[in-house]
Structure 1
């Protein structure tokens, strides 16, 4: 399992019994998502760390929440799996439900829900993409 470190945003590989406690992000994909290649570039080039955009902010906020809840590692499907490798993509799809189940904390990012007056969020949840995808 390839996890991101919440401080460095560097990938770390873990196998079976060596997998530490981790947080996981459940979300829907939107414009500007960080790919595996983007994350590899982020780790190599310091200037790339200043990247802006919704996808980058989603990763940085997940890292922040992961640290806040006391975990060192987190997993995000879009950027932890090399989608250019059909073998790796298939290997990631098969155990994905188990990875969600075994995570210590699951954060949900509802991109199309805004906080507002009381009762406002409930109305938005009915039309939320995240709710509808499952």
Structure 2
């Protein structure tokens, strides 16, 4: 699982049970969103402003990580995309 670090604005990858607590950005898509491929290139675009502000809010709420569908999922990989979609419907104990 990839999560966006709220301090560095970089993606970190976690495996198995080693996943930290994280916030989730719920948003509407507007124009050009930040994709997985573009997430390594922060820019002054509206998409990055939304992610930056979400990171700042998550950090002020005590979270070091945030999950954002547009940049934490590599949509060029059909297997990864399908796994992400399936995991959205799993019940959490």
The question of a shared fold, defined as TM-score above 0.5 by the shorter chain, is answered with yes
Q: Name the structure, 1 or 2, with higher relative contact order (CA <8 Å, separation 6+).
A: 2
TM-score (norm 2): 0.89
Change in 2 beyond 3 A, CA 1:98/1:2: farther
Structure 1 position 97, deviation (Å)? 4.0
Corresponding pairs, count: 93
RMSD: 1.9
Structure 1 position 15, deviation (Å)? 2.3
TM-score (norm 1): 0.63
Aligned position for 1:60: 52
Structure 1 runs (4+) greater than 6 angstroms displaced: none
Structure 1 position 77, deviation (Å)? 0.4
Give the Cα separation in 2 of the matches to 1:61 and 1:94: 28
Structure 1 position 63, deviation (Å)? 0.7
Other structure's SS at 2:17 match: helix
Give the Cα separation in 2 of the matches to 1:19 and 1:81: 16
Q: Larger radius of gyration, structure 1 or 2? A: 1
